Amino acid sequence: MGQVTVKVNGYSHTIGCKDGEEDHVRDLMAQIEGKVQVIRNMGGQFSESRMLLHVSLLLADELGDLKAEMAALRGGAPLPAPAAAATAQPDPALAERLARIAERIEGIALNLDRT
């Protein structure tokens, strides 16, 4: 079994993978680190868990956009216009919105833990 040590948001992590998949894991981690940098460039201080939550939201948003584009291509419908978030310019309003969403998710998680 292969292992890869990667650094995300300044922290080292060892990830297990199948032999031969090490480069693929490094590529995936590079994408995650890229999203971390996008969030950091927006400003604000985040704990590691909150940072990774924001990264997850960005990746999930991109995945949703790709799924919509694929569905449009399969169905012959026109593709949606590119999202403004796809630009390289940091958006402070987006950072604030992500922070509010993260707080709501954390509140839901706390309520689930209590039950």
The contacts of residue 48 (CB under 8 Å, 6+ apart) are 9, 11
Per-residue pLDDT of the chain (115 residues; tens, 9 = 90+): 889 999 888 889 999 999 999 999 999 999 999 999 888 888 877 788 888 888 888 888 888 888 888 888 888 666 555 544 454 466 677 777 777 777 777 766 666 666 5
Flag whether the pTM goes above 0.75: no
Q: Three-state SS string across the chain, please?
A: CEEEEEEECCEEEEEEECCCCHHHHHHHHHHHHHHHHHHHHCCCCCCHHHHHHHHHHHHHHHHHHHHHHHHHHHHCCCCCCCCHHHCCCCCHHHHHHHHHHHHHHHHHHHHHHHC
Reported as a single tens digit per residue, the pLDDT across 87-102 is: 446 667 777 777 777 7
pLDDT score, position 64: 86
The CA distance from 57 to 36, in Å, is: 11
State how far the alpha carbon of 7 is from the alpha carbons of 28, 32, 90, in Å.
12, 10, 22
What pLDDT score does 85 carry? 45
Kind of pairing between the strands at 11-17 and 2-8: antiparallel
